[in-house]
Structure formats: structure tokens, C-alpha cells
């Protein structure tokens, strides 16, 4: 197996001089907070029912892929946005959250309009079917 050099890893050639990073920058903004307890509750219920945590979109299982370090890890995707004034006063139910892997979570928010779980599932299904047809 070939060992990668520093140049291979960063993808630059010998004329790479580097760029400075690490400057401190103060940022202030308001954010609407989510209650982490609801995701904890959902994970507990899911584990009791299914014995594992898998992505609702692609069925990825962190424990199966990464072993012990992946146990109990998955992200919670809120299907109801909290960005509207109305949402602030509504209770979030366990059913309003989907357990998704990191990749699928990023794809749900990749572009506006944000995708629903079902829309992303359909895109994934279409991509897999198209890939299988071209082989």
C-alpha cells in the first residue's frame, strides 16, 4: 500500500507556500436553542425498540461501521423548523425528529428549499438506481 506524502494529503505541489490561519474573530448572533433532552429520549426509545441506531434515510449504522466508538452516535434532524415565531411556542414531539447520519443531515440542508426526509430518500434511491443501470 502506497504511503501518502504531505503534498499528496493536501493536494498541492512543491510551490505550495501555505496560508495563515487561526486569527481570532469575535462573532455574536442570536440563536434559537433546542432542548437536547428530546434527542436523548428519541435515541433511548429507538434503541429499546430496534436495538441499534440507524439513519432514517440511508440506513447507515455508526456502530456497525466504526465499532465501539460509533455506539450511540447519530444526529437528530428536526423536521419542524424552529425559525418561525409560531414554532417557538409549540412543543417538539419525539415524532418531529428523525435520526440521520452526518452525511444525510448535511444533504437535507444543502440547498434551499431544504429537503424533507422523503425527498432525500427518493434522491438517494434514484442515484442508486441510475448507478446500477450504468454498470
CA distance 35 to 78: 11
Sorted by where each begins, the domain ranges of the chain are 30-134
Q: How many residues does the chain have?
A: 135
Helix or strand (DSSP H, E) at 97: strand 97-100
Q: Give the helix/strand (H/E) hosting 66.
A: helix 62-66
Q: Is the pLDDT of residue 107 over 70?
A: yes
List pLDDT tens digits, range 83-100.
666 656 678 888 899 999
Confidence check: pLDDT of 128 > 90: no
- The H or E element that residue 76 is part of is strand 75-78
Can you give the pTM of this predicted structure? 0.74
Would the pLDDT of 61 be above 70? yes
- The torsion region of residue 3 among left (phi > 0), alpha (psi -120 to 50) and beta comes to beta
Amino acid at each position: 500500500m502506497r504511503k501518502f506524502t504531505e503534498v499528496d494529503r493536501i493536494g498541492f505541489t512543491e510551490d505550495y507556500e501555505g496560508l495563515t490561519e487561526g486569527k481570532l474573530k469575535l462573532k455574536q448572533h442570536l440563536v434559537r436553542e433546542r432542548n437536547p433532552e428530546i434527542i436523548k429520549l428519541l435515541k433511548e426509545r429507538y434503541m429499546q425498540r430496534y436495538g441499534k441506531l440507524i439513519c432514517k434515510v440511508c440506513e447507515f449504522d455508526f456502530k456497525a461501521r466504526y465499532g465501539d466508538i460509533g455506539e450511540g452516535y447519530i444526529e437528530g434532524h428536526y423536521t419542524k423548523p424552529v425559525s418561525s415565531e409560531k414554532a417557538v411556542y409549540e412543543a417538539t414531539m419525539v415524532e418531529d425528529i428523525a435520526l440521520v447520519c452526518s452525511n444525510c443531515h448535511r444533504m437535507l440542508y444543502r440547498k434551499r428549499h431544504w429537503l424533507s426526509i422523503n425527498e432525500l430518500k427518493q434522491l438517494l434511491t434514484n442515484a442508486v438506481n441510475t448507478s446500477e443501470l450504468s454498470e
